[in-house]
Structure 1
Amino acid sequence: MFDLHRLRLLRELKHRGTLAAVAEALSYAPSSVSQQLSQLEAEVGVRLLEPVGRRVRLTEQAEILVAHTEAVLERLERAEADIASSLTDLTGTLRIASFQTAALALVPTTLDLLRDRHPHLRVHVTQREPERSLPALQARDFDLVLAEEYPGNPNPRPAELEQEDLLDDGLHLALPEAADGPDTAHPMTALRSLADHPWVMEPEGTTARHWAMTLCRNAGFEPDVRFETTDLLLHLRLVEQGHAAAFLPDLVWRGQPPTVALRKLPPGQRTRRVFTVVRRGRSPHPAIQACRDAFNRAAALHSHRA
């Protein structure tokens, strides 16, 4: 019988990449992690790790073990969900990660709803972009993640994660005051009119940046990106004060009237998908179900205000 604790360390190494990262995440000394994995190799009787420069990678046999470990952990999460379902009150801690605009527009109302219905459930919220929060969900750093998907940029869908749609969030071209033109401008014409203006976009490597750059290039120009930040409130402020053009989602207004001139984007580029993600086996847990229900109600209230 293989030791489950050591199997989990091997799984952590697959998701976190280095022994140091595993040790930091679990509050162990790196030497302790290495020793535990060496003991697992002795139990299994085959080599599980091989050196690659200063790092190590999993062997084919280690990958087989990790796949079985994932199945065992999923089963244990289902057992945890069954036990929680047998209780009359929700307790414990629910760890949520959300990108900024959803955190601002939906999370506070969701917390209100959860507090009213489940006062003994402790909710911990971290603002984190999907590029980082989804791998952290797989590594079991979070229980639920709010994520986004931009038009024409589908996210990878690992088999061990389950998605549930929350809302479609409108996307708009936001014009600085100096570039404000007629409201009847054709979407592509309005976009091309900003070819010589400074832009604010999310950093390189993010899905939002890839989508925005593709949109501008399809309109025939390379945007002059002078400002880079994941903070969409700063995007909005730069547009309001005439420093940049931007692409802004409806969630940034939090149900209030827009404060800048907006234009339609080309067809097929006008909404992003917002959804919740959990690990497979976790979705039946009453805390996850309560949280998803609260997010759905918060999204409905937001749509009504908008």
Structure 2
Amino acid sequence: MFDLRQFQVLRAIASSGSLAGAARELHYGHPTISYHLGALEAHLGVKLVERGPTGAVLTDVGTMVLEHACAVLDRIDTVEADVEARAKHGVATLRIGAFHSAASRLLPRAVRNAAIGSDVRIELIEAEPLDLVAHVRAGSLHCAVIYDVGGAGARYGADMRAETLFDDPYRVLLPASHPQARAVGPVDIELLADDGWIVSRGSYDPSDQTLFATCQSLGFRPRTVLRTDDYGVVHGFVAAGTAVALVPELALEEGYDVVARPAVQVLGCRSIRFLAPQGTQPALVGRLREELHRAAAIRKTP
């Protein structure tokens, strides 16, 4: 059976580069370090550390075991922190994940309403959807607000519950002075073939994929003049007349001299979802889920 001290010793050897360094880091005697390392290697039946005259390095298997050991120790730290917070301060900690637009526009009011009457501490991680799914699955997040396209919500696995909050359509973002901004009705993207475009820095972004696929169907490739993942920067450069952009409706910001229009072409949308593990969840997670669905219903109301 594993002993958490074995994992702590392996982590300390990796960080310090020697058994002596691990002993100093953990305030153990050298024999104690050797004992726990030997017990772990005996239990697994493999050599985890190569010892040399100048120190110690992990074997390939040792490095793999270290990754799992660190995940276990991090999870234990989270449990201890939650128990300590509850015992000392009566504070419940709700760990939420979200992409940036959801974190700034959907969560604040929903979290406030969900937490009314409780002394709750919020820990928020901002990340891309795939990373958030991994955090929820690992247990480091109670829940997350994510997005996907093309019905990907059905592919999260039987251990996850993904509920659709609303569909987030794409909008063409134009400078207010742009000729198409002054026109009436949806924008024909074909008429923007000569404009410069702002796209994301990453290799995969639903907005970019939608833009490139649409432009390809119209016989041209959009001319990229700026790459950024910051929608505030996108709005600023569009307002300055540098370029145009395709952005999700949820990412639209006020205070810029821009116009956001639907397109003549069918662009589809991304689905905004609430993600949590299957099974019984803390009451706060359930209340947050209800508040997010309530906020989504308001968005859907004309």
Q: Quickly name the TM-score band, shorter chain normalised.
A: 0.5 to 0.7
2:180 corresponds to 1:180: yes
| Separation in 1, partners of 2:129, 2:286 | 21
Q: Percent identity?
A: 23
Structure 2 residue matching 1:111: 3-state secondary structure: helix
Aligned to 2:111: 111
Across the aligned residues of Structure 1 and Structure 2, the Cα RMSD in angstroms comes to 4.5
Aligned to 1:198: 196
Deviations, residues 98-126 of structure 1 (Å, cap 9, x unaligned):
1122122211211220232x421222223
Q: Is the 8 A contact 2:189 2:263 kept in 1?
A: no
| Separation in 1, partners of 2:143, 2:9 | 22
Aligned to 1:87: none
Distance 1:294 1:51, change over 3 A: same
Deviations, residues 175-231 of structure 1 (Å, cap 9, x unaligned):
33325164356x6xx112222211112222333333433333333322222222222
Shift of 1:8: 12
Higher-Rg structure is 2
**Structure 1 gap segments, 5+ residues each:** 11-18, 21-27, 64-68, 85-89
Q: Is the 8 A contact 2:47 2:59 kept in 1?
A: no
One-letter identity of the residue aligned with 1:196: D
Distance 1:92 1:184, change over 3 A: closer
Q: Is the 8 A contact 2:110 2:295 kept in 1?
A: yes
Shift of 1:292: 0.9
| Relative contact order higher in (CA < 8 Å, ≥ 6 apart) | 1
Structure 2 residue matching 1:260: 3-state secondary structure: strand
| Separation in 2, partners of 1:225, 1:37 | 55
Aligned to 1:168: 167
Aligned to 2:290: 293
Distance 1:255 1:293, change over 3 A: farther
Q: Is the 8 A contact 1:236 1:248 kept in 2?
A: no
Number of residue pairs the alignment of both structures matches? 260
Shift of 1:303: 3.6
**Structure 2 gap segments, 5+ residues each:** 16-21, 27-32, 50-57
Shift of 1:258: 9.9
Deviations, residues 230-272 of structure 1 (Å, cap 9, x unaligned):
22232223223322211122223479999504132533x3321
1:28-107 alignment runs, 5 A limit: 39-45=39-45, 56-57=63-64, 91-107=91-107
2:145 corresponds to 1:140: no
| Separation in 1, partners of 2:281, 2:264 | 38
Distance 1:300 1:45, change over 3 A: same
Aligned to 2:281: 284
Q: Is the 8 A contact 1:163 1:278 kept in 2?
A: yes
One-letter identity of the residue aligned with 1:183: V
Q: TM-score, normalised by structure 2?
A: 0.66
